[in-house]
Amino acid sequence: MSESPSVTFNLAGRRALVTGSASGIGLATAQCLARSGATVALNDIAIDKLTIEVNALRQAGLAVHAVPGDLSRSKSVASVAEHALQMLGGIDFLINNAGAPLTKKPIPPSDLDALTDEFWDRILRINLLSAFFMTKALAPHLQAAGGAVVNTVSISAFGGGGSSAAYATAKAGLAGLTRELARGLAPEVRVNGIAPSFVNSPWECRFEDMAASAKSTVPLARVGEPSEYAEVIIYLCAGAAYVTGEVIPVTGGIRI
């Protein structure tokens, strides 16, 4: 599949922050936003990779900025938010995409010993609390702009599985947070999410023969490309004017 989006947007004058955007869905979303005319701040904890991607986008003539930082701590989030606002001059769209499995291979649900206190704390901070911290920090500015928030959830939030029980639980919490933020920030700001399944990206946790598994279990018979998830995220930002509090499965039909 091509990484070129099949849907085009006119986002001239719009300002966006995409967290976790040095690779995968986050990078594809930032690329699509910038190519559509938006000014985009890219955030990631992987500073070297973030710098490379931001420089590449700038060389292509796109208006992008790097705002590195660890979003698992509220003080660091406040710094990233302030830096992004300085770069952008305000914000219309916030994409809370930062997340991590913190394991190189799936942890079986029966392996409770692997789910240590430290692991739980890091999983919840990165995959759930970071979205709350960032949305809270930018809420007044999003309300002033009549903006939108999109959270990257996971299909594991609705049926379990994924990299670990802790990850699936954190993502289930993010689905719930999406609804609560939609209530709390309405009517000025819409808050939605997407729930991806198989993604062709350099994810830390590797699943055995993902392509074969997708071919046999997904009605569309393939792994999803980051750009295909990005299209849905951007539609929820720039369109979908009467949609809020929803988490849209983007799965190739795996749960039908």
Looking at domain 15-250, its CATH class is alpha beta
Residues recognised as catalytic: 167
pLDDT at 1: 39
pLDDT tier at 255, thresholds 50, 70, 90: confident
pLDDT at 2: 40
pLDDT at 241: 97
pLDDT, one tens digit per residue, over 101-149 is 999 898 999 999 999 999 999 999 999 999 999 999 999 999 999 999 9
Whole-number average pLDDT of the chain: 94
CA separation for the pair 160, 162 (Å, rounded): 7
pLDDT, one tens digit per residue, over 27-59 is 999 999 999 999 999 999 999 999 999 999 999
**106-111 contacts: CB < 8 A, separation 24 or more?**
106/162, 106/163, 106/164, 106/205, 106/207, 107/163, 107/164, 107/165, 107/166, 109/160, 109/165
Closest CA to 84 of 42, 56, 50: 42
pLDDT at 3: 53
Instruction: Indicate if the pLDDT at residue 5 is higher than 60.
Output: no
Closest CA to 173 of 232, 228, 120: 120
Give the residue extent of every domain in the chain: 15-250
pLDDT, one tens digit per residue, over 147-158 is 999 999 999 999
